[in-house]
Amino acid sequence: MDQNEFDKKIKYFHENMPKECPILYSMKIIGSKWKIPVMWYLMLNDGQHYNELKRSIGSITNTMLTKSLRELEEDGLLKRVSKGTVPPSVTYHLTDTGKSLIYTMGDLFEWGKKHMEKETQK
């Protein structure tokens, strides 16, 4: 992005800023350390069980995974589907609201990939 494009984008943000900052609102919903990885792995493989998500994410604790899943469900970004069987079978799925973050997540993916590559070239 050149300086002119950057300046146009900043001008747009200034002209369209509501009373509450949309960035702060967004971060309130998805800003914890683990919510974005939870949503990312659900985007990559919808309908995962709890233990599948835990294995995909890696170093997340049971407490943080449970907390993140509950909060994402409360905020309408994912849904918990129980099959009502014994033993219980529960899967997690992104809602349409959660899926609408695909472009943002894709941009984060590309940004991270680009900067990781720069780091390995040093």
Q: What is the number of domains present in the chain?
A: 1
Per-residue pLDDT at 118: 80
Taken in order 40, 45, 50, 52, is the CA torsion positive or negative?
A: negative
Q: Looking at the domain assignment, is residue 104 inside a domain?
A: yes
Alpha helix positions (H), the chain = 3-15, 22-30, 35-44, 50-57, 62-74, 96-99, 102-120
Q: Looking at the domain assignment, is residue 69 inside a domain?
A: yes
Q: Looking at the domain assignment, is residue 63 inside a domain?
A: yes
The whole-angstrom separation of Cα 6 and Cα 9 is 5
The widest CA-to-CA distance across the chain, in whole angstroms, is 60
Q: Looking at the domain assignment, is residue 7 inside a domain?
A: no
Q: Looking at the domain assignment, is residue 13 inside a domain?
A: no
Name the pLDDT band for 117 (thresholds 50, 70, 90).
Answer: confident
Q: Looking at the domain assignment, is residue 17 inside a domain?
A: no
Of 54, 75, 73, 72, nearest to 63 (Cα)? Answer: 54
Angle at 12 between CA 11 and CA 17, to 5 degrees: 105
Name the pLDDT band for 51 (thresholds 50, 70, 90).
Answer: very high
Whether residue 100 has pLDDT greater than 90? yes
Question: Which run of H or of E encompasses 78?
Answer: strand 78-82
Q: Looking at the domain assignment, is residue 10 inside a domain?
A: no
Q: Identify the domain containing residue 101 by its residue range.
A: 33-120
Percent of the chain at pLDDT > 90 equals 87
CATH number, domain containing residue 47: 1.10.10.10
